[in-house]
Amino acid sequence: MGTTPLVALHGIRKSYGDLLVNDGVDLDVRPGEIHAILGENGAGKTTLMRVIYGLTTPDAGRIEVGGAPVSIASPRDAIAAGIGMVTQHFALVRPMTVLENVLLSSAGLGPPDTEGARRRFAEATELLGVDIDPDVRIEDLSVGEQQRVEIAKTLYQGARVLILDEPTAVLVPQDARALFDALRRLTASGLGVLFISHKLHEVAEISHRVSVLRQGRIVDTRPTGSSTPAELAELMVGRSVAAVLRDERRVGPGPSNDEAVVIAVEHVSLDGSTGKRLLDDVDLRVHRGEILAIAGVSGNGQRELADILSGMRMPSSGHVRVGRQDITGATPTQVVACGLGRIPEDRHGSVVDDLSVEENLVLEDLGQFRRGPFLDKRAIRRRAEELIARFAIKAAPTDRIGGLSGGNMQKVLLARVLAKDPRAILVAQPTRGLDVGAGEYVHQQLLARRADGAAILLISEDLDEILALADRVAVIFDGAIMGIVDAATTTRAELGLMMAGTPQQALGGAA
């Protein structure tokens, strides 16, 4: 690797009012290097990346490119300095072609040089090591192909440093592998990569160095191979994190076939308003003491399935049962009364931000906290104090819930649902946006409920989470179940193929 950094940050400091987000950060990216950034939510990672890319102006500090000071006040300045950024939310116009998106990203005065752009884009894809048809529409590409277009766009613009923010969050395993291969090719040509991820095994696999941010400061920068993922997790949170390696947290065998079915989804289909079938003959069974996970790339019917189970939507055909009770078409209140606890993916949509913690904790049970026509505020306070202590919620009963961290808000939702000891639990994206410590707590709670005999239907886009928690995995693609496999014996490759639309039968597997 070269000795002069491609990009170096010196003493970067950024505050928002009294909140100090970046506190004297020093960081550099060298030629031929993948430098990973780890940190809990709120550690300052996003703000730091925004500073490098010109989306945020630091209060103090300087940026150097190739050893020379530069002023980066906008993304245009960053691109001119050879810095590109790709987030997990792509900046692509779906009805346009790849080439049209490329031209749009570098539009200036005068007519575009289409043929020149075509040649330069071909050079960028060759450097990336992929074949992308410039005339195909973005909407006809897979998520992984769209990401490669985004990376090729930055190379087209002359990037020598590539910032990737949670790049595998939307990818199936095969696409993640292709991304890593492409990054190795890019760094072999002398480019540098800043790689932001919460997946510790990915950081260990792909990066050369890793820097850990905690409370706005770099607490350590070291060669990646010198630390285990568990040690990196402890650096992130400043304390020991038990069993942080998710692949090592599986617990015991799953239930036997003779155990009672608690959640049954029986040949459920759902037609969309445009005539497209959103769910196609989905048939699932979840037993007592089992976690059945639904794996799939976002937008393949997971949300619609959760809505039907939660009483938010009526299926076009089929039935949903909890125990022996048919809850097809039941209201959300009736679903809860039948013993199904719901922990939805949109935690902000499941609480009332302007109400207090104690009010949100009893929001679904107000009938139990009435004294005549009035609410029994003392009983509500006692209940809140009990659940705050039991679920380790870092808040006071009177705190406004909208001001809590994502982890503590999720604990409030867990407390509200799990305190009722539901026999069936539907949980969607339970650790999305949470740091490793808060995510670990959520997983422990779900595993504890499984051990107590609850049937849990887990919807997640995080394969690490699925393989850590699930007994069986059902893979959904385009609204249909591609197969159901044993989590202990399946492989990421098998799951990835099914997530991309290959039926299990075509793989020769067995449920």
Residue 103 has pLDDT above 80, yes or no: yes
Q: Which of the pair, 404 or 81, is modelled with greater confidence?
A: 81
Query: At a CB cut-off of 8 Å and minimum separation 6, what does 426 contact?
Result: 263, 306, 309, 310, 340, 341, 342, 343, 456, 457, 459
Give me the amino acid identity at 492: R
The predicted structure's pLDDT at residue 8: 96
Collapsing DSSP to helix, strand or coil, 76 comes out as helix
Q: What is the mean pLDDT of the chain?
A: 87
In this structure, are 154 and 235 located in the same domain?
yes
Q: Which tokens hold the place of 289? A: 């003491």
Alpha-carbon torsion angle 372, 378, 382, 388, nearest 10: 100
In this structure, are 141 and 205 located in the same domain?
yes
pLDDT tens for residues 310-325?
999 999 999 999 998 9
Strand order in the sheet with 480-486: 340-343, 424-428, 455-460, 291-295, 472-477, 480-486
Residue 259 in any domain: the answer is yes
In this structure, are 236 and 357 located in the same domain?
no
Residue 415 in any domain: the answer is yes
Residue 175 in any domain: the answer is yes
In this structure, are 498 and 441 located in the same domain?
yes
The predicted structure's pLDDT at residue 255: 52
Q: Which tokens hold the place of 401? A: 């819930």
Residue 284 in any domain: the answer is yes
Question: In the beta sheet, which residues pair with residue 460?
Answer: 295
In this structure, are 426 and 372 located in the same domain?
no
Q: Which helix (H) or strand (E) holds 392?
A: none
The predicted structure's pLDDT at residue 108: 59
Residue 110 has pLDDT above 60, yes or no: no
CA 13 to CA 18: how far, in whole Å?
13
**399: pLDDT confidence band, cut at 50, 70 and 90?**
very high
Residue 344 in any domain: the answer is no
CA 308 to CA 300: how far, in whole Å?
15
The predicted structure's pLDDT at residue 447: 93
Residue 13 has pLDDT above 90, yes or no: yes
The predicted structure's pLDDT at residue 502: 86
The predicted structure's pLDDT at residue 57: 93
Q: Which tokens hold the place of 114? A: 């289409």
The predicted structure's pLDDT at residue 258: 45
**Which CATH number is 161's domain given?**
3.40.50.300
In this structure, are 301 and 435 located in the same domain?
yes
Residue 345 in any domain: the answer is no
Dihedrals phi, psi of 461, to nearest 5 degrees:
-100, 5
Cβ atoms of residues 214 and 40 within 8 Å? yes
Pairing of strands 68-70, 217-223: unpaired
In this structure, are 382 and 317 located in the same domain?
no
In this structure, are 281 and 359 located in the same domain?
no
Residue 396 has pLDDT above 60, yes or no: yes
**393: pLDDT confidence band, cut at 50, 70 and 90?**
confident
How many helices (H) and strands (E) the chain has is answered by: 17, 22
Domain extent, residue 396, equals 351-420
pLDDT tens for residues 417-458?
888 889 999 999 888 767 677 778 889 889 999 999 999 999
Residue 1 in any domain: the answer is no
List, in sequence order, every beta strand (DSSP E) within 215-330.
217-223, 261-271, 277-287, 291-295, 317-322, 325-326
Chosen domain end from 420, 448, 477: 420
pLDDT tens for residues 190-226?
999 999 987 788 888 999 999 998 888 999 999 998 8
CA 511 to CA 507: how far, in whole Å?
11
In this structure, are 171 and 320 located in the same domain?
no
**107: pLDDT confidence band, cut at 50, 70 and 90?**
low
Highest mean pLDDT among 92-101, 256-265, 356-365: 92-101
In this structure, are 143 and 283 located in the same domain?
no
Collapsing DSSP to helix, strand or coil, 291 comes out as strand
The predicted structure's pLDDT at residue 259: 57
Chosen domain end from 218, 241, 264: 241
The DSSP annotation for 235-256 comes to HHHTS--TT--GGG---S----
The predicted structure's pLDDT at residue 35: 97
The predicted structure's pLDDT at residue 508: 64
Cβ atoms of residues 483 and 294 within 8 Å? no
Give me the number of domains the chain comprises.
Answer: 3
Cβ atoms of residues 410 and 17 within 8 Å? no
Residue 23 in any domain: the answer is yes
pLDDT tens for residues 249-296?
444 444 544 458 999 999 999 998 877 899 999 999 999 999 999 998
Chosen domain end from 391, 420, 449: 420
In this structure, are 103 and 155 located in the same domain?
yes
Which one-letter DSSP state was computed for residue 402?
G
Mean pLDDT value across residues 404-428:
88
**104: pLDDT confidence band, cut at 50, 70 and 90?**
confident
The predicted structure's pLDDT at residue 265: 96
Give me the amino acid identity at 498: M
In this structure, are 266 and 310 located in the same domain?
yes
pLDDT tens for residues 463-495?
888 998 999 999 999 899 999 999 999 988 888
**497: pLDDT confidence band, cut at 50, 70 and 90?**
confident
